[in-house]
Amino acid sequence: MLTYAIAYLRDFFSSQYIIGETFETSVPWSNIQKVCNGVEQKLIELHHQYNLPGKPYLSYRISQSYHTGVCLYFMFGVYIKGVEQPEVICGQIEHSLRQTIIANGGSISHHHGVGKIRQNFMQDTLSPASIELLHQIKQSTDPQNIFGIRNNVFAEKKSRDCH
């Protein structure tokens, strides 16, 4: 139920000085434990690095399973009372946790797509030839650039750091 609480009751949690996020990935069966352990360790490390109060919250669940692996949903939350720029810190934590997922054998997404939030990961996910092919397909099917503006590999070039 926390998935829904964080996603849909964000205002309530923020009034209690708690912010967090949910995100998903697809993971082969052989990497599930490695991904979960990596994310848990990284969140603890980041919590200390940002000198956040309290303890970080992390949970995860398998929402779908397949012959080749699973969809893992992660939920994290941190207490932010007295923290300057908590939304920036939360975004940086999420970005680092996604890096950890990829480094441990997970994917950039299972079904939420890439969009703007995850676009900086595409250079590590697709080859330059694949990205060029996507640009050519987009140009031929959407020459006026109406759909997916600044999403995915169609974003303007910018820093590889967190958004």
Hey, which residues are catalytic here? 73
Instruction: Give dist(CA 134, CA 65) in Å, integer.
Output: 29
Q: Are the C-beta atoms of residues 38 and 101 closer than 8 Å to each other?
A: yes
Q: Are the C-beta atoms of residues 50 and 112 closer than 8 Å to each other?
A: no
Instruction: Give dist(CA 153, CA 19) in Å, integer.
Output: 29
Instruction: Give dist(CA 1, CA 6) in Å, integer.
Output: 9
CA distances from 135 to 21, 120, 145, 149, 160 (A): 31, 16, 11, 12, 19
